[in-house]
C-alpha cells in the first residue's frame, strides 16, 4: 500500500484519532440528518462548521473527499414540502431542486477558505 491508502476503521469501536491525524486522504460521509436543521432545511451552522473543519484539514495537507447526502432535504422548503416525500417522483423533484442549492451552499462555505468544490453525482 502507498502512503495515500485509506485506512478503514471498524464502526464498532471509536476511531483512533492518530490514524486520522496521519492519513494522506480522508473520506467523510455526511448524511442528511447531520445537515438538516430542526425546521427541516439545511442548517447553515452545521454546513459551515463542516466546511471549516474539512478546509482546515485540507489546508494542512490532507486530501479530503466529502460524500454528502442532503439534496432531498435541501429541496423540501422551496417546493413547500413539510416532510420527506415517500414517492420516488417527488423525491426526485426535491433532489433536483435541492442539489443546486446544496452545492451553492458548499461552494460558499468552502470558498471562504479558498477551497474550490466540485461534484460527482451518484445514486
In a domain, 118, yes or no: no
In a domain, 19, yes or no: no
Label residue 40 left, alpha or beta by phi (over 0 means left) and psi (-120 to 50 means alpha): left
Domain count, the chain: 1
Label residue 66 left, alpha or beta by phi (over 0 means left) and psi (-120 to 50 means alpha): beta
pLDDT in tens, the chain (123 residues): 444 444 444 444 555 677 777 889 999 999 999 998 887 788 999 999 999 999 999 999 999 999 999 999 999 999 999 889 999 999 999 999 999 999 999 999 999 999 999 999 776
**Residue-range definition of the domain harbouring residue 31:** 24-111
In a domain, 121, yes or no: no
In a domain, 54, yes or no: yes
In a domain, 44, yes or no: yes
CATH of the domain at 34: 3.40.1160.10
In a domain, 63, yes or no: yes
In a domain, 106, yes or no: yes
Amino acid at each position: 500500500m502507498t502512503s495515500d491508502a485509506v485506512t478503514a476503521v471498524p464502526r464498532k469501536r471509536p476511531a483512533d484519532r492518530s490514524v486520522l491525524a496521519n492519513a494522506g486522504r480522508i473520506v467523510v460521509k455526511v448524511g442528511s440528518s447531520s445537515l438538516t436543521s430542526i425546521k427541516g432545511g439545511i442548517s447553515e451552522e452545521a454546513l459551515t462548521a463542516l466546511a471549516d473543519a474539512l478546509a482546515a484539514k485540507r489546508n494542512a495537507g490532507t486530501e479530503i473527499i466529502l460524500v454528502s447526502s442532503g439534496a432531498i432535504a435541501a429541496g423540501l422548503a422551496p417546493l413547500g414540502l413539510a416532510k420527506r416525500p415517500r414517492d420516488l417522483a417527488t423525491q426526485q423533484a426535491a433532489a433536483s431542486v435541492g442539489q443546486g442549492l446544496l452545492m451553492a451552499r458548499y461552494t460558499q462555505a468552502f470558498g471562504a477558505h479558498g477551497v474550490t468544490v466540485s461534484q460527482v453525482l451518484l445514486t
